[in-house]
Amino acid sequence: MFVSPLLTWFDRNERPLAWRHPDTGAWGILLSEVMSQQTPVARVEPVWREWMARWPDPASFARASPDEVLRAWGKLGYPRRALRLLDCAGQIVS
């Protein structure tokens, strides 16, 4: 009942977000979801791009220091999210 109109609306109104690219893997999606919690997408996207260039996978991110991660988090707000991502990356690679 609602599926067809919803898909039509999305086709007309979808925003071109970097993490919607078909080559974006689970790590990129996880970062985008956590970064987007209570933070406008317009602020998230440039930081997400920087993070993906710097830490393209959980293994590279898990080697980062908490200070480095917090500096890279910048002004996204709620910095505990960054530290939780660091913990998550450590769990993924262990």
What pLDDT digit, counting tens, does each position of 31-65 carry? 999 999 999 999 999 999 999 999 999 999 999 99
Say if 8 falls within a structural domain.
no
Residue numbers of the domain that contains 34: 18-93
Confidence band, pLDDT 50/70/90 cuts, at residue 93: very high
Q: What is the number of H-type helices and E-type strands within the chain?
A: 6, 0
Say if 25 falls within a structural domain.
yes
Say if 4 falls within a structural domain.
no
Q: Which of 33, 45, 50, 68 is catalytic?
A: 33
Say if 12 falls within a structural domain.
no
Q: The domain spanning residue 30 has which CATH number?
A: 1.10.340.30
Say if 7 falls within a structural domain.
no
Closest CA to 85 of 31, 18, 24: 31
Closest CA to 44 of 9, 82, 5, 2: 82
Say if 46 falls within a structural domain.
yes
Closest CA to 44 of 62, 61, 20: 20
The yes-or-no answer on residue 33 being catalytic is: yes
Residue 16, pLDDT above cutoff 90 = no
